[in-house]
Amino acid sequence: MGGSSNTNTNTRSGGGKDKHDETSPSFKEGERVLAYHGPLLYEAKVQKSENKEDEWRYHQMQKLIKRTPRLLSRGRNAKVSLEKERKSSESLFMSHFPSTLKKQLVDDWEFVTQLGKLVKLPRSPTVDDILKKYLEHRTKKDNKINDSYAEILKGLRCYFDKALPAMLLYKKERQQSTEEVKGDVSPSIIYGAEHLLRLFVKLPELLASVNMEEDALNKLQQKLLDILKFLQKNQSSFFLSAYDGGSKGTDGIKTK
């Protein structure tokens, strides 16, 4: 817990310790302790201890301290505080989500799940096209190529390609995806704004698992909101107003 590197705890003589203290470990194997991970405290268990040159070493642990009710409460409170900050950050992102794009998501859900219709593939513009257009827009606005935005767009493209089969498809779209995305083809050059928008809904959840300072996370979310505003500004040209026919069932026959 809290890291893979070993941390040494020295209990050699000094400070009035007797001989028994020098040869006895401060923590026993299997003992429940608290381990530091950055500023937070986590419950842990000593997996192995060994004595080398009168120095006790505890494996697979970071800095260890005795497990007491007061410190245990402190660790839990710190963890809860961090989780609250994350949830607050997620809520802030979604509260600034453009209302017209929220309606777009509702329409998207209704077309696919209620009416059995699909986005005709490949789309134009594709996710890749849209991200390139945004970078051009940003470059023109800033009078320079903004490296931070370029990195974010590169990350978004990667997130999209990985997330599409795992969390961005409705059940009725899976067969279509299998037929359209083959070999080394990236989903970002097949799908368009409709599925990219679904990714933005998932981003707060995905970013919550990223080890990032709160300030850096907030700045990132501001940049992501700027991309959303660009989607909103170009909503009529990026998004479909109607989807294609009926979805195919597992037997290949279209259903309505």
pLDDT tens digit sequence for 178-215:
999 998 999 999 999 999 999 998 888 777 777 777 78
Instruction: Report which of 221, 202, 232 is spatially closest to residue 137, judged by C-alpha positions.
Output: 232
pLDDT tens digit sequence for 39-90:
444 456 666 666 655 554 444 444 444 555 665 555 555 454 445 555 555 5
What confidence score (pLDDT) does residue 52 get?
57
Instruction: Assess whether pLDDT exceeds 60 at residue 17.
Output: no
What confidence score (pLDDT) does residue 203 get?
86
More confident residue, 223 or 59: 223
Instruction: Assess whether pLDDT exceeds 70 at residue 97.
Output: yes
What percent of the chain clears pLDDT 70, i.e. is strictly above it?
59
What confidence score (pLDDT) does residue 46 get?
63
- All structural domains of the chain, each given as residue ranges with its CATH number in brackets, are 7-67 (2.30.30), 85-238 (1.10.274.30)
